[in-house]
Structure 1
Amino acid sequence: MNSLYDTYASSSIQVFLSDMPRAEAERLFERRLLLGPDDGDSVSEFLDELGEIRDRPRFRVPHTMLDSLGRTVAGSARTVSARFGASGPDRTRA
């Protein structure tokens, strides 16, 4: 896994682990390519938990709300960026 992170606790690593075949994820721990649980039982419990999270229902945004939510998110991002000192053109749609 080409990543700056090598710990199983990283959410970006967990996204990849949850999507790969379980045996492949187990091999990453066995070969110590990921820092995490040391024993097979703990790895198994962790991978079980990832599987449960992956199988949960996901929230779907209705197509009719995408523009409105997109503008809201973009506005929030501008506000946060401005608090950190960023400046730039206002790119909201009229």
Structure 2
Amino acid sequence: MWRIRSAEELCRSGGESSNGAPPGTPQPVVDLLNREINAALDEPAIRQRIAALGAIALQGDAGQFGAMLAAETESWRRIVESSGVHKEG
């Protein structure tokens, strides 16, 4: 069974946490989630809690998130390729 780690566990382990919706989620639902999550991240208490975990709260929309993921994937692809590591199996 899958266990989803909390944002606190991810931050303490040096990981990242993000929010996403399954493919095919209706755009109005994506927009609503994005609006509400961004509003929550504007709350001082939430920002303070995130900072206390050693994390940085970034806000944006689904398009910005997708562009960031694509850029990070490409960056790490180059790093792995240049390291000489090869996929097993």
> Do both proteins adopt the same fold according to a TM-score greater than 0.5, normalized to the shorter chain?
no
Normalised to the residue count of structure 1, the TM-score between the two structures is: 0.31
- TM-score normalised to structure 2 length: 0.33
Greater RCO (CA < 8 Å, at least 6 residues apart): 2
Answer with 1 or 2: which has the greater Rg. 1
